[in-house]
Structure 1
Amino acid sequence: MNDLVFRPIAEGERRAVHRLLAEALHASPPDDKGWELVGPSFPADRTLAAFDGDAPVGMASSFATAIAVPGGKTLPAAAVDGVAVRADHTRRGVVTTLLSEQLRDCVRRGDLIAALHASEATIYGRFGYGAATTGQNLRIITSRAALRPEVPVTGRVRLLDPAEAVGRVPELYRRIGLTRPGMIQRPELWWPAYHDRLVRDGGGDHRVAVHIGPDGENGYAVFRTTDQRTPDDPGRGALLEVRDLHAADPGAAAGLWRFLIGLDLVAEISAPMRPADEPLRALVTDARAVQVTGMEDHIWVRLLDAGAALAARTYREAPAVVLGLEDRLLPENTGSYRITADGATRTGASAQLRVDAEVLAMLYLGEWRASTLAAAGRITVVDPAALVDADELFRTDVRPWCGTYF
C-alpha cells in the first residue's frame, strides 16, 4: 500500500470516483443525463480517496446532516454514503485507512455522530459503528388487506405529477419532521439522486401520492408498480413497491396505506425497511395479509464525541449507571460516563458496565437492551444489578428508525 496516495478528491475527479463506487456495488455508472441528476448529490467536499497514480482505487464519502436522538434533539452528523475499493486493490488495508481518516475528519468538522447503511454486516463494527436501528420488510396481499372499518378517515389522497413531486415533497418531508430517533435531515444535495431521478418527467418510474388532512398536506408515499403477468399467468396483478412513506400522524399514515392497498390491479405490496413497530397488521381486517418477510439492520451509527452525544439524548427514570467505554480509534472518548435520568456526564467512578464503541452505538438510540447484549457476551458486567437499570435508562417509547436511503 506504500505506493498509494490518500487525499481529498478535487472537483474534476468526482465522476471518476463515483464510477468506482458504482462498479464496486455492481451497478452501471450513470450516463451523461444520469450524471446531471446524480452529480449534485456527490460533491467533492467530504470525499476521501486512495489513488494509484492518477486512478482512484478506493473512496469514502459523506454528507453533512443532522440526526434525531431520543428526547427530540437533532445532532450534527455525517451520513456516510459511499465506501468502495476497486476489485484489484482489496485486502490491502485501503478501507481501514480511509474509514479511520474519515472518522477523524468528521470529528474536525464538528459532527457528533456518523451513520451509514452497511452493505456488509462484518465490516463496520471494527470502526466503532453499531447496528442501531432495525427495519421490517413487509409483503401485503391486497385482496385480503382491507383496513378495519374503525380506522378513521382523516383526509384524502391525491397523486402528484412529476414536476409537483420534485418541488413539493422536500418541503413536506421537512414539515413532517424527524418523528423517531434515527431519522435524519435530508439536505438539498440529497434530493436530486435519491428522489428527483425516480419521479422526474420522461425518465422516472415512481409515482407520488400525498395525504391531505384538515390543515393541508401531512404525508406522502413514493412508489412504483411492476407488471407481473406472464403467458402462464396472464391475470396476475401488479407488484407495488413502496420506496418512501412518511406521515405526520397515524391518520395520515393510515390514509396512505388505505390508498396503496386499494389501487386497482395490484396483487401485492412490497414495503422494505419499515419501522419495526409500525402497526400495519393491527390496521387490517386480516392480519395474516400483512407478512413480515424479514427483519434487517437498518442504519449503523458511530458516536464521534461520546460525551456530547450521550449528554444530548434523554433517559428514563432509573438509578444511575456508570458505563466504561473503550474507543480504540478515537481514544479521546475512552473513559467512564455516569448515565442518569438527568443526563450523562464524565466521571472518575468505577465502571459498572464496560462497552466498546460498537456496543455503545447499539445502545444509543434505544434499539438494543443492555441485558440482551450482556447475555451475548458483548458487555463486560461488573455489577449485574446495573443491567436492569441500563435497560430502563436507554429505553425509548418508539423503536428508532431512519427511513432515508443514502
Structure 2
Amino acid sequence: MTQTLLPTGLAFRAVAQDALRDAHDLFLAALHAKPASDEQWDVMRHAYVADRTFGAFDGERQVGTAVSFPGSLTVPGGAVLPMAGVTYVGVRSDHRRRGALTGMMRAQLEDLAARGEVFAALHASEPVIYGRFGYGIATVARDLKVNPKRARLRPEVPGGGTVRLLDKDEVVPALSAAYPALLPTRAGLMGRSPQWWSLSYDRRLRTDHFLVAAHFSDAGDIDGWVGYKPAESSSADPRAGATLYVLDFQAADQTVANDLWRYLVGVDLVDEVVAYLRPADDPIEAMLVDAYAVRGETEGELWLRVVDVPAALAARAYGAAEPVVVEVADPFLPANSGRYRISTHGAERVTDEPALTMNAEVLAMVYLGAWRPSVLAGIGRITVADPAALPAADRLFAVDQPAWNGSLF
C-alpha cells in the first residue's frame, strides 16, 4: 500500500478494509457525534469502499478521512460523464490547520483523475473550505416551506397517473430501477450508485420514520416520487399538526411534479411541508391559488470540481456566439491548466492568447450555467483581457433550464 508524506509530517494513504468502521467513527467525531452502533454500521458499511476511502495519518493514528463513491453527471446538451460523489470528509479537532485536509483533497483528486472521473462533487457543510481545492457552486436551489392549509392548487393545474406509498422493502429496488430514465431530463442530475442508495435511503429506511410516495404513470411505471420524513409537532397544543420534511423529490415532467405537490399538500394533519433543495424554477407559487402559502430561500446546492477540464469542456453543448479563448489556472491539478477555444461547435486546447482567465473554482461555477461569466468578471472573479468576449461567453455557457442536482449525499 502506497502513501504520500505531507509537509507537516502527516501521511496519506487508502484506509484498509478492516479500518473502515474506525474511519466512519472519526467522521462522526468531527461532527461531535457519538460512534456508530452495530446496527448503524451494518447499514453504513455499504456506503464505504476501501480503495475510495482515504485517511490522513499521524504515525499509525488516523486523524482525517475523505470518502468518494462512483456516479455520473448530466451536462448541458445531455451527455452523461463519470463523476465521483465526495462525502464523509472530516479531520480530528486536535489536528486541524496542519495540512490534513489539503493532503487528502489533493490525493483524492489525483486518484479520481487516474480513474477517469471527469468531475467530483459534494454538498458543503462549511462553504468557505472547498473553493481553494477547485470546487465551485455549480447549481442553485430553493428550500421551500409550504402551508398546506392555504396551499390549494389552481383548478387548471394538470395531473395524471396515481400516487401510492411504497412498502419499505420495495423502495430501493423500485426507485433505483426507475431513476436512470430521469437522468436526461435536466443538466446537473447525477447517477446514483449502490453506495448512494445505501447512504441516502437504506440508512433512513432502517433508522428513521421515512416514507416514499411514488407516482405511477397510466402504463403502471414509476415516473416520480417524494421521499419524506414526518415529524410530530413539538407544541403542547394537541391540535398542532406534523411537519413533512421532503428529502428527495423527483419527477419525469411537470405533470408528475404537479401530482406529487398535490399529494404533499393534501396529507391530513400536517401544518407545514418543507421541501429541501428544489430547482430554482420550481413553479409552486404559480400553481397555487394563494401564492403566499409558500416561503422560499435560495442557496448554493452542488459544489462541483472539474477533474478533467479538456473532457468536460469538450462534452457539453454551447450556445450560439463567437468563439472565446479561455485560460484555466489549476495549480491543484496542473494537467488541467491551459488555454481552450470554446465555440458553438465545442472546445479544444489551443496556444492563442486568452480573452478570459479563470481558476478551477470559477470554471465549475460557469460550467453548468449557474453563473454568467460577465457577472463573475464584474466582481473580479474572472480576469478580462478582451471585454468584448464577455457577452459571447455569457451566450456560450447559457442554459435553457437551470441545472439542478436533487440528490443529497
Please give the alpha-carbon distance, in whole angstroms, between the structure 2 residues aligned to 1:271 and 1:124: 26
Q: Residue type matched to 1:109 in 2?
A: R
Relative to the length of structure 2, the TM-score reads 0.95
What are the equivalent positions in structure 2 for 1:82-161 lying under 5 Å apart? 82-161=88-167
Instruction: Report the CA distance between 1:211 and its aligned residue.
Output: 0.8
Instruction: Report the CA distance between 1:397 and its aligned residue.
Output: 1.0
1:302 aligns with 305
Q: Residue type matched to 2:10 in 1?
A: L
Distance of aligned partners of 1:34 and 1:334 in 2 relative to their CA distance in 1, 3 Å threshold: same
Instruction: Report the CA distance between 1:3 and its aligned residue.
Output: 4.2
1:267-306 Cα deviation digits (max 9, x unpaired): 11111111111111111111111111x2111111111111
Is residue 2:79 matched to residue 1:73? yes
What are the equivalent positions in structure 2 for 1:246-325 lying under 5 Å apart? 246-292=250-296, 294-325=297-328
Q: Is the 8 A contact 2:8 2:99 kept in 1?
A: no
Comparing 217-226 with 190-199, greater Cα deviation is found at: 190-199
Instruction: Report the CA distance between 1:52 and its aligned residue.
Output: 2.3
SS for the counterpart of 1:177 is helix
SS for the counterpart of 2:178 is helix
SS for the counterpart of 1:144 is coil
Instruction: Report the CA distance between 1:318 and its aligned residue.
Output: 0.9
Aligned match of 2:224 in 204, 219, 228? 219
1:228 aligns with 233
SS for the counterpart of 1:96 is helix
Please give the alpha-carbon distance, in whole angstroms, between the structure 2 residues aligned to 1:47 and 1:240: 34
Number of positions where the alignment pairs a residue of Structure 1 with one of Structure 2: 402
1:165-203 Cα deviation digits (max 9, x unpaired): 133121122233342222111111221231022224xx4
2:3 aligns with none
1:25 aligns with 31
Is residue 2:329 matched to residue 1:343? no
SS for the counterpart of 1:329 is coil
Please give the alpha-carbon distance, in whole angstroms, between the structure 2 residues aligned to 1:401 and 1:71: 14
Instruction: Report the CA distance between 1:229 and its aligned residue.
Output: 5.1
Where in structure 1 are there 5+ consecutive unaligned residues? Answer: none
1:204-225 Cα deviation digits (max 9, x unpaired): 3011111112222211110121
Instruction: Report the CA distance between 1:379 and its aligned residue.
Output: 0.7
SS for the counterpart of 1:75 is strand
SS for the counterpart of 2:180 is helix
1:144-180 Cα deviation digits (max 9, x unpaired): 1111100112111111111121331211222333422
Relative to the length of structure 1, the TM-score reads 0.96
Is residue 2:357 matched to residue 1:357? no
Percent identity of equivalent pairs: 46
1:295-338 Cα deviation digits (max 9, x unpaired): 11111111111111100000011111111111111122111111
SS for the counterpart of 1:181 is coil
SS for the counterpart of 2:50 is coil
Q: Is the 8 A contact 1:8 1:46 kept in 2?
A: yes
Please give the alpha-carbon distance, in whole angstroms, between the structure 1 residues aligned to 2:112 and 2:144: 35
Please give the alpha-carbon distance, in whole angstroms, between the structure 1 residues aligned to 2:31 and 2:234: 30
Please give the alpha-carbon distance, in whole angstroms, between the structure 1 residues aligned to 2:352 and 2:22: 51
Please give the alpha-carbon distance, in whole angstroms, between the structure 2 residues aligned to 1:166 and 1:352: 48
Where in structure 2 are there 5+ consecutive unaligned residues? Answer: 1-6
Q: Is the 8 A contact 1:243 1:271 kept in 2?
A: yes
Comparing 9-18 with 347-356, greater Cα deviation is found at: 347-356
Aligned match of 1:330 in 316, 333, 346? 333
RMSD: 1.3
Please give the alpha-carbon distance, in whole angstroms, between the structure 1 residues aligned to 2:58 and 2:333: 28
